[in-house]
Structure 1
Amino acid sequence: MTVIGVLKKIVFYIALVAIWELVYKLGVDVFSIWKSYTFPSPFQVAKSLYNLVKDNTLFVAILASMGRLLLGYLLSVVIGLSLGLFIVRFKYIGDNIKALILGLQTLPSICWVPFAILWYGISEQSIIFVIAMGSIFSISIATEGAISNVYPLYIKAAKTMGAKGLKLYINVIIPAALPGIVAGMKQGWSFAWRALMAGEMISSSKGLGYVLMVGRDVGDISQVVAVMVVIIALGLLLDKVVFGRIETNIRQKWGLKTEI
């Protein structure tokens, strides 16, 4: 990204903060539509963020949450990809189980929390279970869709050259479906974040979800918003650094446009 592009982004976010402050001033000080403790100003959020950094609460929470998130997400990727390949490979089973997987995907992550507590107790394993269950099905659905939509000519050409079975999948089908699979993994990552918050807010003593819950319990809305800002920032950073680079490399390798 060019220097001008970076400056444009900075100006855009400064404008958003300015609008936020204006809305706060109008709603609280001018028209008294709501109380200050129900809708914080940017300065109150910044102060809460500073306090969380100062007493090291934020860094401990980020490390705890990221450890759980990465472990749960990696588990969901392995299971989700395997499940997606399975329902593609065995058409009869796939045709009957796809609707079930789609239905399970529509379940909110919070629905898995009672199972996690009953099976694993209030522990790290229960949170990781919720994370995995929150993203497994979206990855498997995306994998199935990406493989099913591979251009048939690629498969026919590979078969005429003797490729079949596992060799056909490894050398032709999976590489051709890779852009769609990566898109599904990216979507699964966002679902994993949501599941992490659901798990940590119920069965954790540390982590971003726990800090969010503490802010809610003590009525500190500025702390709640501060944690939300941190979650958004981490999500954007990881998306740019990890998934953004992977998608760019894949699109360049396949000769696709990287910008529209």
Structure 2
Amino acid sequence: MAVETSKRPADVNRQIAGLDALELAAGSKQALPLRIWSALWPMLAAVGIALAGWELVVLSGWKEPWVLPGPRDVLPDFAELVTDGRFWDAAGLTMRRAVVGFALATAIGVLIGAAVSRSRVLRRAFGSLITGLQTMPSIAWFPLAILLFQLSESAILFVVVLGAAPSIANGLIAGVDYTPPILLRAGKVLGLRGVSLYRHLILPASLPSFVAGLKQGWAFAWRSLMAGELLVIIGDTESIGTRLHFARELSDTSLMISVMIVILIIGILIDQLFGLADRSLRARWGLDGD
């Protein structure tokens, strides 16, 4: 009896553990749909509120319908736009420019940020200049870009890089500044120097600020690109910006708003990608509260 009594708690514990495992498995199956819905419903509610507010402004008679058409007039044109193959060719050109410009800005921003963050002389010489470049409106660069490169892809790329690189450099500089000194001392004790110190210690430690800098740099790059495509029309090339430009020139407000909605959607999707990277980083660091 004593032996059986001593064994009962272990058996009960195994049974309870099995029940817990089943409950967790059932919960995990329900978790994915619930998580998708919890992520989607605020966005859907925001879209509904925006459309309702837009319709109320139109119904108020503040502007003539040909100046500010309502959702009922714009959404059919939007559906026609996004099902047009030529438009997606134009969007492909825009996204290719965006990716190339952002990649160059990232490479330049990382090099500048790494150099300035580890040198007091460079920090005093160029720290304020980088911040000044970051705050300078991108559109102010276009007269110089057109003078240097004429109406060409290089003019657009020039402004995109200048718009994004300072934010990326400042993000890396901020991350390096907040790297705990004890980690730097430990790295030096382990023999890390120069590039190895950056690769194995400083860059991983500065990732949160660096990702924030990348996100801000993309926002500047995207705004610079849209301004460039409105101002720099290259031959018969067609992009999202040129579609917006010609819709404005033809006073086709419905098409113009449709293109603007596409620009907004692309910005939101890219922001979601950066949010996914940020959440993955926080989960890896054990900072995710979910």
Q: What's the TM-score, normalizing by structure 2?
A: 0.81
Is 1:217 matched up with 2:249? yes
Kindly name which structure, 1 or 2, has the bigger radius of gyration based on alpha carbons. 2
Structure 1 counterpart of 2:281 = 250
1:151-170 matched pairs, under 5 angstroms = 151-170=180-199
1:104-119 matched pairs, under 5 angstroms = 104-119=133-148
AA aligned to 1:129 is F
Q: Do the aligned partners of 1:251 and 1:258 also contact (CA within 8 Å) in 2?
A: no
| CA-to-aligned-CA distance 1:92-138 (integer Å, 9 cap, x gap) | 02211111111112211112212222222212222112211111111
Q: Distance in 2 between matches of 1:140 and 1:168?
A: 18
Structure 2 counterpart of 1:239 = 271
CA shift at 1:198, angstroms? 1.1
1:201-212 matched pairs, under 5 angstroms = 201-204=230-233, 205-212=237-244
AA aligned to 2:153 is E
AA aligned to 2:274 is F
Which range moved further: 246-255 or 226-235?
A: 246-255
Q: Distance in 2 between matches of 1:164 and 1:8?
A: 48
CA shift at 1:8, angstroms? 4.5
Runs of 5+ consecutive residues of structure 1 not aligned to the other structure: none
Structure 2 counterpart of 1:98 = 127
CA shift at 1:5, angstroms? 4.1
SS at match of 2:288: coil
Q: Distance in 1 between matches of 2:38 and 2:79?
A: 30
Which range moved further: 43-52 or 100-109?
A: 43-52
User: Between Structure 1 and Structure 2, how many residues are aligned?
Assistant: 253
Q: What's the TM-score, normalizing by structure 1?
A: 0.90
Q: Distance in 2 between matches of 1:183 and 1:84?
A: 14
1:78-93 matched pairs, under 5 angstroms = 78-93=107-122
Q: Distance in 2 between matches of 1:47 and 1:120?
A: 39
Structure 2 counterpart of 1:9 = 43
| CA-to-aligned-CA distance 1:157-203 (integer Å, 9 cap, x gap) | 32333333332222111100011101100110010110001110111
Structure 2 counterpart of 1:228 = 260
AA aligned to 1:46 is L
Which range moved further: 8-17 or 38-47?
A: 8-17
SS at match of 1:2: helix
CA shift at 1:40, angstroms? 2.1
Q: Distance in 1 between matches of 2:171 and 2:278?
A: 15
Q: Do the aligned partners of 1:134 and 1:195 also contact (CA within 8 Å) in 2?
A: yes
Q: Distance in 2 between matches of 1:125 and 1:230?
A: 25
Q: Do the aligned partners of 2:230 and 2:245 also contact (CA within 8 Å) in 1?
A: yes
Q: Distance in 2 between matches of 1:105 and 1:5?
A: 32
Q: Do the aligned partners of 2:279 and 2:288 also contact (CA within 8 Å) in 1?
A: no
Structure 1 counterpart of 2:167 = 138
Question: Residues 160 and 55 of structure 1: is their aligned pair in 2 closer, same or farther, counting only changes over 3 Å?
Answer: closer
